């Protein structure tokens, strides 16, 4: 095999084996079993991500529930209280609309963030 040809050889993304030259140029795996195994891993990762998001959702819902129980609905609560519990503001599975305000709904609770760094929680 000449040098040029060797340099062109592509490796399977799963087993790192050579992909036969006869295969389509855009092929990433050397065989169907490798392709299938890689697909299984992708599915598993997607499932783990979903599960992680679900668990995080439960954690945040619990925080909202605790504040809702201690403060009630429609009460301004300093955002700092949430920061102390490592609140995840980036988690936005659903919108929550209350009057003309748009907030975030997590499970049975919706919250709104106000400009003065306070939060209001509502049971949905």
In sequence order, what are the residues at sequence separation of 6 or more whose Cβ sits closer than 8 angstroms to the Cβ of residue 93? Answer: 53, 57, 104, 105, 106
Query: How far apart, in whole angstroms, are the C-alpha atoms of residue 110 and residue 96?
Result: 6
State the minimum distance, in angstroms, from the CB of residue 32 to Zn ion. 10
CB nearer to Zn ion: give 35 or 65: 35
**Residue 14 interacts with Zn ion (CB under 5 A)?**
yes
Beta bridge partners of 101: 98
- Chain CA centroid to CA 75, Å: 30
CB nearer to Zn ion: give 10 or 81: 10
State the minimum distance, in angstroms, from the CB of residue 33 to Zn ion. 8
Q: What are phi and psi of 26, to 5 degrees?
A: -90, 10
Binding mask 33-72 for Zn ion (x = CB under 5 A): -x--------------------------------------
Size of interface with Zn ion, in residues (CB under 5 A): 6
The number of residues making up the chain comes to 124
Interface residues with Zn ion (CB under 5 A) are 12, 14-15, 17, 30, 34
């Amino acid at each position: 095999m000449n040098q040029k040809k060797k340099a062109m050889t592509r490796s399977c993304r799963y087993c790192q084996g050579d992909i036969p030259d006869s295969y389509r140029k855009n092929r990433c795996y050397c065989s169907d079993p490798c392709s299938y195994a890689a697909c299984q891993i992708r599915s598993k990762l997607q499932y783990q991500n979903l599960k992680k998001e679900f668990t995080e959702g439960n954690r945040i819902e619990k925080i909202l529930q605790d504040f809702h129980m201690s403060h009630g609905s429609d009460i301004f609560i300093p955002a700092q209280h949430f920061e102390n519990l490592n609140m995840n503001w980036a988690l936005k599975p659903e919108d929550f609309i209350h009057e003309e305000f748009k907030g975030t709904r997590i499970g049975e609770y919706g919250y709104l963030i106000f400009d003065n760094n306070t939060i209001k929680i509502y049971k949905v």
